[in-house]
Amino acid sequence: MTRKDATPHRLDRALVWDGFKALLPISLFVVVFGVAFGLAATQAGLTDAAIVLMSTLVFAGAAQFATLELWGPQVPFFTLMVTVFAINARHLLMGATLYPWLEPLPPARRYAIMLVATDANWAMAMQAFHRGQPGLGLMLGGGIALWGFWVLGTWLGLHVGGTVQDPARLGLDMVMGCFLLAMVVGGEKNLRMLLIWAVAAGASLLAFYYLPENSHVVVGAIAGGLVGLVWGKQE
């Protein structure tokens, strides 16, 4: 039986360092996508300084790639805003699921953690919370690792990007998907969770084919969340 921690919202340097090391392996793959983004941004006409600054301040890979598709002499601001919001709307749901553990923290720490929230460190943190263990170290330390290597990859893309023009050809586009799948398989297993994931997957597929681009992420998350809400977990 896994020992439960009395303070799952605990956050200190040791936990942050442990979180950094835990996300380090997948961060190495993030470098490759950073390289691809740096190259694509250069080809889109952005300056080196603007490219590195974007990755440093925005830190949203899919949204940054989508931005490049709309970049030009006249940027369609409204379309750009809607596209970025649709891709990153899942962070609203992440914040909601993390709120019980973030609420006891001072606002500065709370928002600092969410600045580096990604699918990977969120998934690992939620697994830790469900085991009754502290997960905020995974959120902050793991997020710092992912952010640092994303910026590093972007910088490398400005200089050696020609070597990794298409990560999908190497199968690297499947890394994050496989990682999140491993998180699901390693998590709670019962009929309730099976139904939640089945509904989320089905709704996401339908949205992918019949709704606007990138909306499947939000639709799948909301559909699965509603099933979980209706079929409440009994402690």
Residue 98 included in any domain: yes
Question: DSSP code of 233?
Answer: P
- The Cα 131–Cα 224 span in angstroms is 21
Residues 112 and 209 in one domain: no
- The Cα 45–Cα 73 span in angstroms is 10
Residues 84 and 108 in one domain: yes
Q: pTM, whole model, 2 decimals?
A: 0.72
Residues 110 and 226 in one domain: no
Instruction: Compute CA distances 178 → 183, 185, 198, 221, whole Å.
Output: 9, 10, 17, 18
Residue 7 included in any domain: no
- The Cα 128–Cα 130 span in angstroms is 5
The residue segments making up the domain with residue 228 are 188-235
| 145 phi, psi to nearest 5 deg | -60, -50
Residue 1 included in any domain: no
- In contact, 16 and 125? CB cutoff 8 Å: no
Residues 153 and 195 in one domain: no
Question: Alpha-carbon Rg of the chain, whole angstroms?
Answer: 19
**What residue spans of 89-135 are helical by DSSP H?**
90-102, 107-115, 119-130
Residues 135 and 155 in one domain: yes
Residues 93 and 141 in one domain: yes
Total number of domains in the chain: 2
Residues 76 and 132 in one domain: yes
- In contact, 94 and 100? CB cutoff 8 Å: no
- Triad 17, 22, 27: Cα angle to 5°: 105
**Predicted local confidence at residue 8, as pLDDT:** 74
Residues 100 and 198 in one domain: no
Placement of tokens 């170290």 in the chain: 137
Show the low-confidence residues of the chain (pLDDT under 50).
Answer: 1-3, 179, 235
Give the pair of three-digit tokens for residue 191: 């009929």
**Predicted local confidence at residue 2, as pLDDT:** 44
3-state secondary structure of 83: helix
Residues 120 and 167 in one domain: yes
- In contact, 137 and 19? CB cutoff 8 Å: yes
H-helix or E-strand containing 202? helix 191-210
Residue 83 included in any domain: yes
Residues 235 and 150 in one domain: no
**Predicted local confidence at residue 185, as pLDDT:** 59
- In contact, 70 and 79? CB cutoff 8 Å: yes
Tens-place pLDDT, residues 108-117: 989 999 999 9
Residues 177 and 104 in one domain: yes
**Predicted local confidence at residue 1, as pLDDT:** 35
Residue 8 included in any domain: no
Q: Mean pLDDT of all residues in the chain? A: 81
Residue 166 included in any domain: yes
Residue 4 included in any domain: no
**Predicted local confidence at residue 3, as pLDDT:** 46
Residue 46 included in any domain: yes
Instruction: Compute CA distances 180 → 48, 51, 62, 98, 177, whole Å.
Output: 32, 28, 16, 17, 5
Residues 72 and 86 in one domain: yes
Q: What percent of the chain has pLDDT over 70?
A: 82
- Triad 158, 164, 170: Cα angle to 5°: 155
